[in-house]
Amino acid sequence: MVLNNYTYSVSYRDIKYPRLELKTGKLLFILPSGYNPDTLFEKHNSWIYRKIKFIEECMESAKNKKLVERTDEEFKRLVDKFTVEISLELEVKIGRIYLRKMRTKWASLSQHGNLTVNKLMKYLPEYLIEYIIFHETAHIIEKKHNTRFRGIIEKKYRNYQEFEKELFEYWFKVSEQESI
């Protein structure tokens, strides 16, 4: 669908509140049944356009990113190494580690403390892999992305917003690589 010259998708779900997502660079309206997307667009159009501009800048910047070539075994050893180091640093325990391809995330942490790592991270520079694992491991201490969580991250990564932006840029580069 097209709204104000921008293409978007709508997903009607059994939810109470509407929301917008731009995780993959495409605008998605997630709406309760019968909700008009125009209403949400009008309410949040300045935010939507700021995000679209940011995504376009990241996509342009992604063209200059270089992907790292490493084997699956090298990647697994790197993930294991960082997981051990970071769990000791934060004084927490990680359960199992799973490597699988994920569509919208670099990694996630289950409520049982298991770490799932996107196999596509193998193309990232080491410092970004370490950051992602630190970020997910910090969720053992604080589940939500709130002030306390950001405080944990900022102790080690004062410029974490730059890491997040770079990860977003790499997402487009890796996605492009994987679609070939």
- For the segment(s) 72-178, the CATH number from 1.10.4010.10, 3.30.413.10, 3.30.2010.10, 3.40.50.720 is 3.30.2010.10
pLDDT at residue 55 tops 70? yes
What would the pLDDT profile of 92-144 be if each residue is shown by its tens digit? 999 999 999 998 899 999 999 999 999 999 999 999 999 999 999 999 999 99
Instruction: Please give the model's pTM, rounded to 2 decimal places.
Output: 0.83
Please give the pLDDT value at position 34.
87
Confidence of residue 24 (pLDDT cuts 50, 70, 90): low
All structural domains of the chain with their residue ranges? 2-62, 72-178
**For residue 75, what are its two tokens?**
């990647």
**C-alpha–C-alpha distance, residues 130 and 3, integer Å:** 40
Check residue 39 and give its pLDDT: 84
Inter-residue contact 105 to 118 (CB < 8 Å) = yes
> Tokens 């403390």 appear where?
113
How many whole angstroms separate alpha carbon 180 and alpha carbon 174?
Answer: 10
Sheet containing 107-109: give its strands across. 97-100, 115-118, 107-109
Closest by CA position to 152, among listed 95, 88, 90, 110 = 90
- Tell me what pLDDT residue 7 has: 76
